[in-house]
Chains A and B, each alone.
Chain A
Amino acid sequence: MQRGWILLFTLLAVPAPAVAQGVDLDMAAAFLQSRDIAEVRGGIELLGISQDRRAARFLAEYVRQGPPGPVVESVVESLAALGQPETLAPLMILADHRRPGVRARVAEALAGLQSPEVRPRLERMLSDSDPAVRSAAARGLARAGNRDSMDVLFRAFEKGVAEASIAIGEIGGPDDADRLLGKLGARPLPEILPGFQAFLNRNAFADGAKVRIIQRLQELATVEVRQFLEEWVNGLPRNYRGASRAAAEQAISRIAE
């Protein structure tokens, strides 16, 4: 087993603050120049868990120099783990990498950064040719939580990006819920229901809007809707007695098995 792995395993065995303090950044950076690819990977991972801004700079320079293909995804994971502003530039570079797996991880990593550059980039990634990248971009936009992305998320949803419906449900307002209700019949139910589930699961989402969703779904009166509502009600806290619960229970009772 290579030295980098030994170190990594050792470090992972101790609590996180100790990990951050225990990483020799110079040594980890030196590993990036190793002729042993396992050591290179170990160095990348050490930098990723270091929680040190200098680690982001090492990785940024490493990205600028063009890392070997087998470790590029590890680089993105470490950048994501660092989650520091310095990681934005290398992530932006890698967002156009020819490896779809790299782009998908970049989309996830970008979502954790607070920068005005993130949202437009993630929106662009919804147009990627790779479905995994599109899904990751939709999840990233949900995580970024900016409702300005709603139009592009709806477009993605209409094009069959399933995660877009969830993103809409996670960040959309009552108007967006109505808009999604308007898609009933136009898109397959299994693609839309996760979006409504996301709306219904949000504590901060207005109960009246939830009732509207449930009543509209009730009109469909399908087995899938009944099953969906049953699962949602079963997942509610026992003591929750809001209007949406009552509406759901009423809908369940009215939809024939």
Chain B
Amino acid sequence: MRQICLALPLLAACGGGMMSGRMEPFASSYPDNIGGDLDRALARLSSGPRPTKSAVLVAGVPGRDEVVGWDLSAGRKLWSAHRKVEARPIVSQGLAIFPSGGSIVALDVRTGRLRFEVDSEGREFRGAAVCPSTKQMYVTLGGATTTQLDEDAGRSVLVAVSDTGSVRWREEVDRTVGAPAALGGLVLVPWDQQYLSALEGENGNEIARVRSTDDVIRFVTATNEGVYYGAKGIYRLTPRSAGGTQGGADRIAPDLGEVPGDATIGADTFAPRPARGARDRIRFHWRAAEGAATGVSLQGDAIYFQYFRYLFAFAPDGSLRWVHRHAHDLVTAYPLPDGIVVAGEDGSLGLLTADTGQVVWTGSMGTAIEVAEIDASGFAPPRSAPGEDSGLRARLLELAYDTDNRMVPARQFAIRRLAKIEDAAITGDLIEIASRRSLAPGVRQTAGQMLLDRTTGQAELLAALGRHYSFLDGIEAPPVGIIARAAARMEARDALPALLAHLEDHETEAVALPDLVAAIKTLGDATAAPGLLEFLTRYHADDTIGDEGRSLVVAAEAVGAWGDEAHAQEVARMAEDPYTIPPLVTPLRAASAEILARVHPSDTVDTTQEQAAEQAVEPPAEPAIPRLLDNPAVAQVLGAHDGAVRRCANEHRGRSAPPARLRLSFLLMNDGRMSNITMTPPNDAMLNCFKPLIENTQFPTFTEARQTINFTFQVRP
């Protein structure tokens, strides 16, 4: 076999070289998207043996420098080796390949015996592949790990290793080169984010290059079904790839929405191959299938997204088919034509059906595992009959209510997907999630956001609004603010009484009040005015609502729009209340004016006309009587007694110094009478000295019945 593989590339290399000349790989002068080059490479790729099928799992054992091989079909351990697995292994053509102790190790996947190891040169391991034809292994190494590289060292190294472990050639380039794929005597590598090159396996000569002009290329994989590459989408390498564009190529790129984490459908092989961690546990699984002449077909017609314990199955059009929650974090998975094999970190194994995600086979390795890879291409376990399918809604709710807060981003994703289901009952589900205080805030918040976009489920909204907090009954308050906003968007006028009831309920969270009052204003009419006025009256001078005081402003606006004359009087009273919270004063005045203008339109004078009239005729100079005396008016009158008060203070100071300031307080009636004259600090003798002066003082008139006067005399400088 090896001899054949050696001969074929040489023949083909001659052909390629004649057309475009012998070029060093990754050279910038090499022509890309040349149809003839690509056709010849494709011919090479379709010739020769296909990848062998197997049913094996290779995994590192947590806490021990141990790697195990597991026979999926026989359900038994094949071998165990004392090796630390430093990144997710690669299972390819009978080898298990992984970095370990400064080397790239290749073990026999059936026996665990060391076949060979290659120096990793102090570089990170990006990936490896074994050619089914030549059994030659290709390894891509990246930037430095622990040791410093020479200044002139290239960013990437591509190494070709024979099946005996000797290096056939080594290409070090100042390019970013990704993990390789190998087939038909060629090695394919993505590089610099937009190129895919096919190199001769024999000598590393480049024979074809695809450049994407409108997309990113970060991975390439070779399977029995062909060669696939891409990043956000999956391209099949065909003659149409020479077009270099998304539109002209055989490609699928399902719109999956914002999946949690930063995983893309195609793995980013420019980064080091993942070790145990989020990059390993958050990833996509898919495998190409034989399909139509154009496009891309997938095993099970599905793309799977793994997020720690969860597995989401999408149809190629991006629609969510099912979700699965595993008891433990998933370590790896492998799609089959009718399902997907999964392995959990507890060593559990399972086969889920591609169409419903139901478990039809289970197994156990009997030991915990961490980074692992499966080749289940030759695995066909007996399937048991699936149980009753609980359906997508129930399964998404299962994730939403999961208590694992590490999974919050995926649970939020599940809720967003739940909200896409056109069923009025989903509105109720979202309300329930948003209400559940035991859930993570982010989860509740997402449910609330999704609720706003619902167009169905008014009955569910009303039912939720009918619920009020009760400690004894164990009833949580619904997310009133969000429901109110949703009700307003749905124009659910039937919700008005329930919204008003929540406005009255002190258990309604203050943070919900602005949305609640705004919804009442949107949906309401004059019948809502008394309830809003009651709210305004109760809290117009109380800052207990805090930052949500704008709800009072909106309430004032609504009362202004609907109120009657009695309401106007009440609103005007609050506007002049000295304790009314300042931002509310102007809206209250405006509301009162608005009501009066509506109730007595004839009394309303056009401001422009009034101003014009004022300019034409000088109004009679009658001094207006103030409602209450202001500070300057009081000071003008009492200031006249300054000297007398100072004299009294000195005369009656006793042995101590006279007070620096003396504060006088009394109640003044609008007919000039006064009572309850007190002074601070208290001193009866001092007070009696100047009290007659005060009692005989003539104050200007004012309209209110009485006024409290406070005035401070400066006795000493």
Question: Which residues does A use to contact B, with CB under 8 Å?
Answer: 1-3, 6-7, 24, 27, 30-31, 33-37, 39, 64-69, 72, 93, 96-99, 103, 126-129, 134, 152, 155-156, 159
- List chain B residues, Cβ under 8 A from A64: 537
Q: How far is the CB of A172 from chain B (nearest CB, A)?
A: 18
Is residue B473 contacting chain A, with contact meaning CB distance below 8 A? yes
Q: Decide: B676 and A127 in contact? CB cutoff 8 A.
A: no
Q: Decide: B665 and A96 in contact? CB cutoff 8 A.
A: no
List 4 A-B pairs, minimum CB-CB distance, nearest first. Answer: A69-B542, A68-B579, A3-B678, A3-B665
What is the bound-complex CA distance between A24 and B579, given in angstroms? 24
What is the bound-complex CA distance between A98 and B543, given in angstroms? 10
- List chain B residues, Cβ under 8 A from A24: 675-676
From B472, B473, B543, B708, give the contact of A39 (CB < 8 A): B708
A66 and B540 in contact, given A3-B678, A31-B708, A98-B506 (Cβ under 8 angstroms):
yes
- List chain A residues, Cβ under 8 A from B667: 27, 30
What is the bound-complex CA distance between A214 and B504, given in angstroms? 47
- List chain B residues, Cβ under 8 A from A67: 541-542
Is residue B470 contacting chain A, with contact meaning CB distance below 8 A? yes
Q: How far is the CB of B533 from chain A (nearest CB, A)?
A: 10
What is the bound-complex CA distance between A6 and B676, given in angstroms? 11
Q: Decide: B678 and A6 in contact? CB cutoff 8 A.
A: yes
Against A, the Cβ 8 Å flags (1 = close, 0 = not) of B534-563 are 001111111111000000000000000000
- List chain B residues, Cβ under 8 A from A128: 471, 507
- List chain B residues, Cβ under 8 A from A99: 542, 544
- List chain A residues, Cβ under 8 A from B537: 64-66
Q: Decide: A66 and B538 in contact? CB cutoff 8 A.
A: yes
Q: Decide: B473 and A68 in contact? CB cutoff 8 A.
A: no
- With A3-B666, A99-B544, A127-B470 already in contact, 7 other A-B pairs whose C-beta atoms are closer than 8 Å: A6-B678, A7-B676, A27-B675, A27-B676, A66-B538, A66-B541, A127-B473
Q: How far is the CB of A96 from chain B (nearest CB, A)?
A: 5
Is residue B682 contacting chain A, with contact meaning CB distance below 8 A? yes
From A3, A72, A103, A129, give the contact of B471 (CB < 8 A): A129
What is the bound-complex CA distance between A3 and B678, given in angstroms? 6
Question: Which residues does B use to contact A, with CB under 8 Å?
Answer: 469-473, 504-507, 510, 536-545, 573-574, 577-579, 665-667, 675-676, 678, 680-682, 706, 708, 710
Chain B's closest residue to A156 (CB) is B472
A127 and B542 in contact, given A35-B578, A98-B506 (Cβ under 8 angstroms):
no
Chain B's closest residue to A100 (CB) is B506
- List chain A residues, Cβ under 8 A from B540: 66
What is the bound-complex CA distance between A56 and B202, given in angstroms? 103
What is the bound-complex CA distance between A99 and B538, given in angstroms? 11
- List chain A residues, Cβ under 8 A from B539: 66, 98
What is the bound-complex CA distance between A202 and B538, given in angstroms? 42
Q: How far is the CB of B97 from chain A (nearest CB, A)?
A: 60
The 23 listed contacts between A and B (C-beta, < 8 Å) are A3-B678, A7-B676, A24-B676, A33-B708, A36-B665, A36-B710, A39-B708, A65-B537, A68-B542, A68-B579, A69-B544, A96-B506, A98-B506, A98-B545, A99-B542, A103-B506, A127-B471, A127-B473, A128-B507, A129-B469, A129-B507, A152-B472, A156-B472
From B505, B541, B680, B682, give the contact of A68 (CB < 8 A): B541
What is the bound-complex CA distance between A93 and B695, given in angstroms? 41
What is the bound-complex CA distance between A96 and B506, given in angstroms? 6
Q: Decide: B538 and A30 in contact? CB cutoff 8 A.
A: no
Q: How far is the CB of A186 from chain B (nearest CB, A)?
A: 17
Q: How far is the CB of B209 from chain A (nearest CB, A)?
A: 68
What is the bound-complex CA distance between A7 and B541, given in angstroms? 26
- List chain A residues, Cβ under 8 A from B665: 2-3, 36, 39
- List chain A residues, Cβ under 8 A from B472: 126-127, 152, 155-156, 159
- List chain B residues, Cβ under 8 A from A93: 538
Chain B at the A interface: mostly helix, strand, loop or mixed? mixed
A1 and B680 in contact, given A65-B573, A155-B472 (Cβ under 8 angstroms):
yes
What is the bound-complex CA distance between A217 and B544, given in angstroms? 47
What is the bound-complex CA distance between A159 and B536, given in angstroms? 35
Q: Decide: A30 and B470 in contact? CB cutoff 8 A.
A: no
What is the bound-complex CA distance between A15 and B32, given in angstroms? 106
A66 and B505 in contact, given A7-B676, A97-B538, A155-B472 (Cβ under 8 angstroms):
no
A98 and B504 in contact, given A7-B678, A31-B708 (Cβ under 8 angstroms):
no
What is the bound-complex CA distance between A256 and B666, given in angstroms? 71
What is the bound-complex CA distance between A176 and B545, given in angstroms? 42
Q: Decide: A1 and B682 in contact? CB cutoff 8 A.
A: yes
Chain A's closest residue to B468 (CB) is A127
- List chain B residues, Cβ under 8 A from A7: 676, 678
- List chain B residues, Cβ under 8 A from A34: 708
A98 and B510 in contact, given A33-B708, A35-B708, A155-B472 (Cβ under 8 angstroms):
yes
- List chain B residues, Cβ under 8 A from A65: 537, 573, 577
Q: Decide: A2 and B579 in contact? CB cutoff 8 A.
A: no
What is the bound-complex CA distance between A35 and B630, given in angstroms? 11
What is the bound-complex CA distance between A72 and B542, given in angstroms? 9
A69 and B543 in contact, given A27-B676, A103-B506, A129-B471 (Cβ under 8 angstroms):
yes
What is the bound-complex CA distance between A103 and B507, given in angstroms? 12
- List chain A residues, Cβ under 8 A from B666: 3
From A30, A66, A152, give the contact of B542 (CB < 8 A): A66
Chain B's closest residue to A67 (CB) is B541
What is the bound-complex CA distance between A129 and B537, given in angstroms? 24
- List chain B residues, Cβ under 8 A from A37: 579
Chain B's closest residue to A94 (CB) is B538
Q: How far is the CB of A123 from chain B (nearest CB, A)?
A: 9
- List chain A residues, Cβ under 8 A from B544: 69, 98-99
What is the bound-complex CA distance between A129 and B469, given in angstroms? 8
What is the bound-complex CA distance between A49 and B70, given in angstroms? 87
What is the bound-complex CA distance between A230 and B120, given in angstroms? 79
What is the bound-complex CA distance between A64 and B507, given in angstroms? 21
- List chain B residues, Cβ under 8 A from A66: 536-542, 574, 577
- List chain A residues, Cβ under 8 A from B471: 126-129, 134, 159
Q: Decide: A2 and B541 in contact? CB cutoff 8 A.
A: no
What is the bound-complex CA distance between A33 and B543, given in angstroms? 19
What is the bound-complex CA distance between A6 and B666, given in angstroms? 12
- Residue with the highest number of chain A CB atoms closer than 10 Å, among B536, B537, B579, B681: B579
- List chain B residues, Cβ under 8 A from A6: 678, 680, 682
What is the bound-complex CA distance between A69 and B540, given in angstroms? 9
Q: How far is the CB of A155 from chain B (nearest CB, A)?
A: 5
What is the bound-complex CA distance between A36 and B676, given in angstroms? 15
What is the bound-complex CA distance between A31 and B665, given in angstroms? 11
What is the bound-complex CA distance between A6 and B684, given in angstroms? 12
- List chain B residues, Cβ under 8 A from A31: 708
What is the bound-complex CA distance between A155 and B473, given in angstroms? 9
Q: How far is the CB of B177 from chain A (nearest CB, A)?
A: 61
Q: Decide: A69 and B506 in contact? CB cutoff 8 A.
A: no
- Residue with the highest number of chain A CB atoms closer than 10 Å, among B506, B578, B666, B678: B506
What is the bound-complex CA distance between A68 and B541, given in angstroms? 5
- List chain B residues, Cβ under 8 A from A33: 706, 708
- List chain A residues, Cβ under 8 A from B504: 96
- List chain A residues, Cβ under 8 A from B545: 98
- List chain A residues, Cβ under 8 A from B541: 66-69
Q: How far is the CB of A47 from chain B (nearest CB, A)?
A: 15
- List chain A residues, Cβ under 8 A from B574: 66
What is the bound-complex CA distance between A156 and B471, given in angstroms? 9
- List chain A residues, Cβ under 8 A from B542: 66-69, 72, 98-99
What is the bound-complex CA distance between A27 and B668, given in angstroms? 10
- List chain B residues, Cβ under 8 A from A39: 665, 708
- List chain A residues, Cβ under 8 A from B473: 127
Q: How far is the CB of B152 from chain A (nearest CB, A)?
A: 70
What is the bound-complex CA distance between A31 and B709, given in angstroms? 11
